Structures are given as C-alpha cells and as structure tokens.
Structure 1
Amino acid sequence: MREIYNALKSCWEEGKRSILATIIKVEGSAYQREGARCLLLESGEVIGMISGGCVEGDLLEHAKDVILSHTPKKVVYDFNGNEDDLWGLGVGCNGVITVWLEPFDPIDQKEKTKQILDEIEARLHCNQPYYFFMCIESSEPDKIEVGQYLSTFHQKQKKNCFNGSMKAGIIETVIEGGKVRGFVELVNPLPSLLIVGAGPDAALLARRAHDLNWRVNVMDHRKQNLTSLFPEVNHLLIKRGNYSSLNLPTNPYIVIMTHNLELDYLALQTFIQCNFCYIGVLGSHQRMRKLVGLLKESLHGIDQDKMAKIHSPIGLDIGAQGPEEITVSIMSELIAVKNGRAGGSLSRLWI
C-alpha cells in the first residue's frame, strides 16, 4: 500500500492521471482477496498486483475508457470452466473476481482525487480500526454518487456488514433514504515492529518489514548506526541500555538483536512488563536460558502468558544460512504470528 500511495502522491504533484483498481468481490479461489489494489498508470506501468499477472494487462485497456469518461467501471473476470483458452495457462485460480476501476485525475477531478489520496494515506497512519465504504450502485445519485466514499458510516450498518472472519465485501443498505450497494472494508492499523539494536542484520530486517508495510522503529544508543543504516524508518535514539525512556507503539512486535547479552537482558527485562504481541530474541537456546535465569532473579514472578510470546531462537525453521535468509526466516515468523498461523507448509496430499 505504501508503494501505491507514493505513486498516487507523485501523480497528484505532477498532474498525471491514473486508475486505482480494487478487488471488491471474490467467488471461489483467487490470487488475492477483496481489498487488494493496484495502480494503473497511463504509461502502462502497473504498481502493485491484484492477480498473478493474469488480468493487469486487460485492466490497462479498460483503464483507457475510465480515464476518458471520468467514470468508475466494474469489470468481472470469470476463470471457471474453460477460461484458460481465453486467458492463457497458469491462471492459478478457478474463481470469479470483480474489480472496481476509479479514475485518479488531479486536473479535471481534483476534489475526488484528493479524497482518494487522503484515504490511502489514512491507511498508512491510522491507530484504530475503521470501516471504509465506497458506493458502487445508488438509487439516489443526487445524494450518494457512484464512486463516493463515506466517512460517516453508521454504527448500526457496521454491525451488519460482515459475519465470521470476513473483513471486506459488498453490502446493500439504505443511506439518506436511498438504496445503495457499496464495497465495505475493515481497515486495521499497520503492525508495528520495534527492532532493538542497530547492526547490519537489523538493517536487513527493517528494510524487509518496511517493504511489507509494517511500521518500523529502531532503538539504539549509536546515532551513527541509526542514521547510516536505517534511512527509511523511524529512529529512537536512547542512552545505552535505557530502554524504558521512550513510549512504545501500541502492542508492538519486538525483535531484540543487540548482540550483547547485558543489553539483551535489559531490553527483555523492560519489555516483558509491557503489552506486546511478540518478542523475539536473536541467539541460541543456551543464550536464552541465561536470559530467563537473569529475569527470574530480578523480577518477582513472570507472567507465563507473556513468556509464551517470547521466541528464541527467532524465525521459522527453514534451514536459513546467512543474514539474508535469516531475515526471511524472522520476517516469516512475524507474519505467521500476526495472522495467527503456525507457519507450516501449505502443501497437502493431492492424490
């Protein structure tokens, strides 16, 4: 989402037109689910992906009509049956996806375009979940226009949006006396990662998390390391070992990788008393046993639920070797914990 926002911001500043494509409905299997987005530029460049490359080329053709008409458009792709004959081999799904195309025109539709830009930016900085609503059909277009975003989505309507684990989809409701169909999406704050330690391996993890749209903060006492190794993320400069001097993000994921037993202990001692989703400590089982022993000596009782959220060694067991592979292993575990998954293989017996 950050990449799409940066591209939209450039289009806004340079007065260039583009099309924002959003999956608003999925039936059956698909590469992406509802809420996935990509940006289609007039140059033919595509920022982001909503499929495995199956529909983006065709969407570029539809985008030309949307740019000329200044009107949103719904496009349906049905991959059931013998659609491989039409779309080519390797679609990778047997479902139906509905894509909404909306114009981003900073010259002729400045107000609407600014609304799109503000909404995408809000997703990157929100601290509380909220519902996004976009009208796709309206019986009273004079009151609620097709393509309009609604920021005042009523609490009663929110409760009736979804059931179970569904987080996005199309609903029918009544707004200002008119019947509307709209795409509704529950937008959650981006996950926050706090990295304790500013070494080169921490820089690899920070970069990977940033690219995956995590909010990344790096805490260390070495200003030179922070400024030289972490140009894209937020720096938290502290005095050596003084980890309690700054406020933590809400329910962060914390990775401790100072490469110093004393500093690791001071960080773990501080953060285990806070609210967090995950703590990972870089190092071996033997090293972690030493840290736990020190904790038991210094703290009067340790919350076992919090102890269960401590991971060490960090990462999934993929046989990672070298800093780059270890970074992939750590990031994979963070994603698995965030999504409530065990991190095993997706493969199943198919015979």
Structure 2
Amino acid sequence: MLALWRAAKARGEDICVATVVGVSGSAYRKPGTRMLITSGGSRSGTISGGCLESEVGKRAWWLTSHGAALESYNSFFDEDTQTMQGLGCGGTVTLLLERGPAADAAMLALACAVELRNPVVLVYSLHPSPGLLHCESATHDVFFSTEYFRGVETAFAERRSFTVEEPGRKLFIEYLAPPPAVWIFGAGDDAMPLAELANSLDWHVTVADGRSHLARAERFPSARVLTLDLTQLDLTIKPEDAAVVMTHSYEQDRRLLPALLSVAPRYLGVLGPRKRTAQLIREAAAKLGLAEADCMTRLHSPAGLNLGGASPAAVALSIVAEMQSHFAGRAAAFSRNSAEAICV
C-alpha cells in the first residue's frame, strides 16, 4: 500500500483512502482496515472478503468529489432482488472515503507505524462531518491536527481502537500498531521459508547468525540480515519482539539463550530436541541465576504447533502459526470448535 502511494505521488496521481470505521453484525474485515485507490486505476489493501473492493473503487471518486464521504454496505438478503448486497457475511460495514491532504495524512501515519515502528493514533469524525481530525504518533509531533482528544491517551495506553459517542458528535479512534518484529537466529536453509512466510504477513524480519557464509542478504531477500559477533553479543531485540533460535549450533545457542532470556521477548521459540534444549536451559539458568523452571516458562520448546509434517516449509508454517496465535492472544484451536470465526 505504501509503495503504491509513493508511486502514485511520483506520477502525479490523486489517491483515495477507504477506511473501515464501523462494523455491525458479521464482517470479514474489522475497523481500521483500509484500501488505497489511485486515479490511475490501481488499488491496494482489502476492506472485505473481495466483494466490495471493485464497487468502492468505481464509486470512490464521485462520492468524494465534494469532500469526505461516509458509506455503509450491507450483506443482508434482499427479498425483492433475491440477491446478497455487498459482503455476503450478514452484516454492515461503514467506510470513510477520503482524498487530498487527509488521505496523505493517513498514509503518512501508516508509514510511521510500519517503517519507523512508532504506534500512531488517528481520530476520525463520523458525525456530524466525516473526516480525519487528528493524527499523532507516540514519539513524533502531530502532523495533522485540529484538536487533542482525550481518547488519544486511552488508545495509546490500552493499545486498542474504539468508537466514542458524545452529545453532538461520534468519533472513531484508531490505534495503529507497528507490525511484529521477528528475529530468526540461524541462517540455515530451513530458516529461509520461515523468513519468507513471516515477511508475507508484513512482519519485520531479522535473520542473524555468527556464520558469515550463511548470513548473506541474497539468501534472505525479504529480511534484514546480520552477522553476529558471538564474543560480544549486542542484540537490539526488544521485549515486544519475537525470536526463534534455530542455529543448529550448540555453541551459538548456548551464547544466545542467556541474552534472549534476560530480554524476555513476547515469544521465544527454540528448535531442536527437548533433551538438547534442557541442557541449554541448565547452562543459561546457572549463568543468569534463575531457576530452570522459570526459564522454561519463557520458552516455546520445541517451537511451533503440532501440525504434522517435517519439511522446512511445514516447520516454518507451524512456527509462524504459533507466533500468530501468541500475538493475537488466542489459544490455537480449530475454528469449527470456536465461537469466533473469520467473519464475526
């Protein structure tokens, strides 16, 4: 989406941003998701399961000819035409369509969150006059603002988006979180599908290994690649990041694990037999002065969900699935046994 925005600006094309600002009933996409449309006919991003994109792309320009527009689409059965309108999920989606400075501000906010990894809060007016009112990052000055809203502090503190209804106005306050950062320690062949799969989810991927002949950018074109100095580890990993240790080198792992355990990233997976991991934990616990049981509670070992399959691609899928479950705060389970489905 950011690449298309920059290309459109370079070509002198106008852009329109469609943002989901409300959902009633079931819907495939949730508030805060968006789609970028260019006057040249290109688009990026999704606002439905594929039912709305073409229709919105066609209508966006005349709908916004006099300013921002708020449009609702539903998928309830129409008895007169015997057809489903819109989404096919049995709910209503409300879109805010904007172009001009507000659309550019929304894309700048996205760039701030995705590329600079700074959380951003956007405040949209839904009533009486629709449009973007306020845009602020956690560490930078406001770059599009008319008023500071109390809800901004709540959004930053609680890391969530929500709707506020007050006398005379209705606001949608969106918390735009940076994508997860994933560290893959180990640059062997089995790390390659893991890096590709993590990148396909728009996660920030770093591959690090002490072996320079493996830690090469051409082997991991979708990731940042680092060659580690194992004699003096200086990791910039943060507690909110995720890490997978898969060097298949006992010497590297025994140096990495104490450093990673002391950081306590939100997800820490170790690939390898349980007996080998137990020995690594014994050494790490002694070095850190921690109980072995405490160290084990910080690990996912062996890394990945038990999905079956032993190929590098299957292992990568199991690890990414476990990380996604962890990021979302959900226990991995079959959707058919869950009250929560894709369209909720």
Q: Which bin holds the TM-score, normalised by the shorter protein?
A: 0.7 to 0.9
Question: Percentage identity across aligned positions?
Answer: 27
Q: 1:305 to 1:96 in 2, by over 3 A?
A: farther
Does structure 1 residue 24 correspond to structure 2 residue 21?
yes
Give the Cα–Cα distance (whole angstroms) in 2 for the partners of residues 238 and 259 of structure 1: 15
Could you tell me which runs of 5 or more consecutive residues in structure 1 were left unpaired when the two chains were aligned: 104-108, 140-144
Q: Which residue of 2 aligns with 1:47?
A: 44
Q: Are the counterparts in 1 of residues 125 and 133 from structure 2 also a CA contact under 8 Å? A: yes
Q: Which runs of 4+ in 1 moved over 6 A?
A: 160-163
**What secondary structure is seen at the aligned counterpart in 2 of 1:347?**
helix
Identify the range of structure 1 (250-259 vs 27-36) with the bigger mean alpha-carbon deviation: 250-259
**Equivalent residues in 2 for 1:43-122, closer than 5 Å:** 43-66=40-63, 69=65, 71-82=67-78, 85-87=82-84, 91-103=87-99, 109=100, 111-122=101-112
Give 1:166 deviation, angstroms. 9.2
How much has 1:332 moved relative to structure 2? 0.6
Give 1:157's aligned residue.
151
TM-score relative to the length of structure 2: 0.83
CA contact under 8 A between 1:132 and 1:150: conserved in structure 2?
yes
Query: More deviation in 293-302 or 91-100?
Result: 293-302
Matches within 5 A, 1:1-351: 4-66=1-63, 69=65, 71-82=67-78, 85-87=82-84, 91-103=87-99, 109=100, 111-127=101-117, 129-138=119-128, 146-151=131-136, 154=148, 156-158=150-152, 167-172=160-165, 180-224=169-213, 225-239=215-229, 241-242=230-231, 244-302=233-291, 304-348=293-337
Task: Please say if residues 66 and 102 of structure 1, whose CA atoms lie closer than 8 Å, have aligned partners that are also in contact.
Answer: no
Q: Are residues 311 and 250 of structure 1, via their aligned partners in 2, closer, same or farther at CA, if it must alter by over 3 Å?
A: closer
Task: Give the deviation of 1:337 after TM superposition.
Answer: 0.9
C-alpha distance in 1 between matches for 2:298 and 2:239: 16
> Which residues of structure 2 form unaligned runs of 5+?
137-144, 340-344
Name the CA shift for 1:88/1:24 in 2 (closer, same or farther; >3 Å). Answer: closer
Preserved contact between residue 132 and residue 186 of structure 1 (Cα < 8 Å) = yes
AA aligned to 2:334 is S
Is contact 1:243-1:266 (8 Å) kept? no
The root-mean-square deviation of aligned C-alpha atoms, in Å, is: 3.1
Give the TM-score of the pair, scaled to structure 1.
0.81
